[in-house]
Amino acid sequence: MESIAAVSQPQAQDIILDVRHPDEAEQRPLIWPANQIICLPFFQINKQLDKLDREQSYLLYCEKGIMSRLHADAMQKNGFEKVAVFVL
């Protein structure tokens, strides 16, 4: 697994991908007003990769950081260069 950066202060252009299960995201919504947040559950990411802009900067978020790190790695292997894990 390549090195995946951890980011706690997103840049304005970063899009945050909330990869938690929809139930978890609904119970504890991620609110970060300065950035666009897209709820994209971990079990749908692989199906949605072709719809995401490979030039865009993405930060993946999950509660413990495990799923976000795994999927950030998968995104890197699929040609996404600007991928990191968002940590609170």
Q: Give pLDDT tens digits for 33-69.
A: 999 999 999 999 989 999 999 999 999 999 998 999 9
64: left (phi over 0), alpha (psi -120 to 50) or beta: alpha
Indicate the pTM of the whole model.
Answer: 0.93
Alpha carbon distance 16, 9 (integer Å)? 11
pLDDT for the residue 2 = 59
Residue with tokens 């978890």: 24
* SS3 sequence of 36-68: EEEECCCCCHHHHHHHCCCCCCEEEECCCCHHH
**CATH numbers and ranges of domains, the chain:** 6-86 (3.40.250.10)
Q: Quick one: DSSP state of residue 74?
A: H
pLDDT for the residue 67 = 93
Catalytic residue among 16, 17, 62, 75: 62
62 is catalytic: yes
pLDDT for the residue 3 = 85
Q: Mind listing the pLDDT tens digit for each residue in 1-44?
A: 558 999 999 999 999 999 999 999 999 999 999 999 999 999 99
